[in-house]
Amino acid sequence: MSENIVAIQLDGKEINLPVVIGTENEKALDIAKLRAESGFITLDTGYKNTGATSSAITFLNGEEGILHYRGYDIADLAENASFTEVSYLLLYGELPSKDQLANFEASLATNSRLPEGFADLQKAFPSEAHPMSQLAAGICLLSNYYKRNTSDATDENIHTILGAFAPVAANIQRNFLNKDFVSSPGKGLVYDFLAMAFDEEPDEVIVDAMDKLLILHADHEQNCSTSTVRMVGSSHANIFASITGGINALWGPLHGGANQSVLEMLEAIKADGGNIKKYVAKAKDKDDPFRLMGFGHRVYKNFDPRAKIIKRAADNVLNKLGVKDETLSIAKKLEEIALSDSYFVERNLYPNVDFYSGIIYKAIGFPTEMFTVLFALGRIPGWVSNWKEMRDRKEPIGRPRQVYTGATLRKYTPISER
């Protein structure tokens, strides 16, 4: 990162602000000393224009629809890499050699054996509880099993949570479906997850599709859940507590929870006789809280490159599995209508990663309520890589400021006088 200086005038005083320029030429004003020198803070509700950190993990250009993990294009990785390779790349910055990948996968396999007694606690969760609630509780609960310091960014701590995540998620699906838990066949993270979640060993088409989907979800720079993980971790909370924060942030329908909402929306349109225009009109009506789920993104003002890949994959997977699903044709028509409507065009609203993913998950056989857990399974390497980067760089505790708008100082009134 190179630096130069920009001078601004505030209350008649010249303030010098360093300019920080990233490797892809993104520019930022470093305002760390602004308040000390001028009394001003900056205000940016929703962080629409605020960089909370610098990071060497993921590059995203929302205007041009570009997404790179550690310098590699998302389409290149989705086409050629495996999910565990991408997890290694995100964590350690380089693609692994054959030996490095084998050691990493072996370590994740060792850590996929959940601590003794843990599965009984997972079974005790009410089966009807939402899978994201079971995931947040389960991952936080894991922290009880380790006596060592789990707030340090060691490989041991990182591999523990990465290895445990898939079996915890598979057990959640089984609990949700009131099925007994099964053990892992030991054939790799994605294969094992599918074999444990369902009653049979998975078809190659399904393993490949799932692997690709997990890669596409693996990281997305400082989104709501990742920023939460960094924020929670900045207090030196342990890795399980930090990731649990991210899981809860992901659950919301404006973030990862959208994949469940999209499918529910498509099913509702189907049940309503395929009346797409009615739903587009509802989405445009400012008096109606309905939004077109899976559309729009804080950063992308162009096609989400992940949505393009997933749309192609949806066609491919459904064909290979011989599944005919009306929701896919409804989704395509909905996209076509929205993209030619001035409301969506003027606001740069395009399909995001969640628009087509649920159709593939449904074709594989996942219950709709599991969709956001699948997003979390993909995102765990990104969360952990950001958590590691934040701890390795010894970033300070996250603590934003505010502009106070409440009552000014007043005297306590006794209750008898109120």
Q: 205, exposed or middle or buried, with CB in 10 Å at 0-12, 13-18, 19+?
A: middle
Choice from 57, 60, 266, 353 touching ligand ACO (CB under 6 A) = 353
Q: Out of 217, 220, 297, 304, pick the active-site residue.
A: 297
Neighbours of 118 (CB within 10 A): 19
Spatial separation of the C-alpha atoms in residues 61 and 72, rounded to whole Å:
14
Q: Counting contacts by CB under 6 A, is residue 213 touching ligand ACO?
A: no
- Each residue 271-300 as x (binds ligand ACO by CB under 6 A) or -, in order, gives ------------x-------xxxxxxxx--
What minimum distance in Å lies between the beta carbon of 350 and ligand ACO?
10
Q: Supply φ then ψ for residue 404, to 5 degrees.
A: -75, 130
Residue 354 falls in the annotated catalytic set: yes
Which position has the token pair 């594989």? Answer: 364
Q: Counting contacts by CB under 6 A, is residue 347 touching ligand ACO?
A: yes
Task: Name residue 18's beta-bridge partners.
Answer: 5
Q: What is the token pair recorded at 388?
A: 């590691």
Find out whether 327 and 263 touch, Cβ atoms under 8 Å. yes
What minimum distance in Å lies between the beta carbon of 248 and ligand ACO?
14
- Each residue 235-254 as x (binds ligand ACO by CB under 6 A) or -, in order, gives -------------------x
Alpha-carbon 121 to chain mean position: 26
What minimum distance in Å lies between the beta carbon of 152 and ligand ACO?
29
Residues 252-271 that bind ligand ACO (CB under 6 A): 254-256, 258
- Quick one: how many helices (H) and strands (E) in the chain? 18, 6
- Each residue 301-340 as x (binds ligand ACO by CB under 6 A) or -, in order, gives ----------------------------------------
What minimum distance in Å lies between the beta carbon of 132 and ligand ACO?
14
Find out whether 27 and 2 touch, Cβ atoms under 8 Å. no
Q: Which residue is nearest to ligand ACO (CB)?
A: 296
Spatial separation of the C-alpha atoms in residues 210 and 168, rounded to whole Å:
17
- Contacts to ligand ACO by CB under 6 A: 254-256, 258, 283, 291-298, 347, 349, 352-354
Active site residues: 297, 354
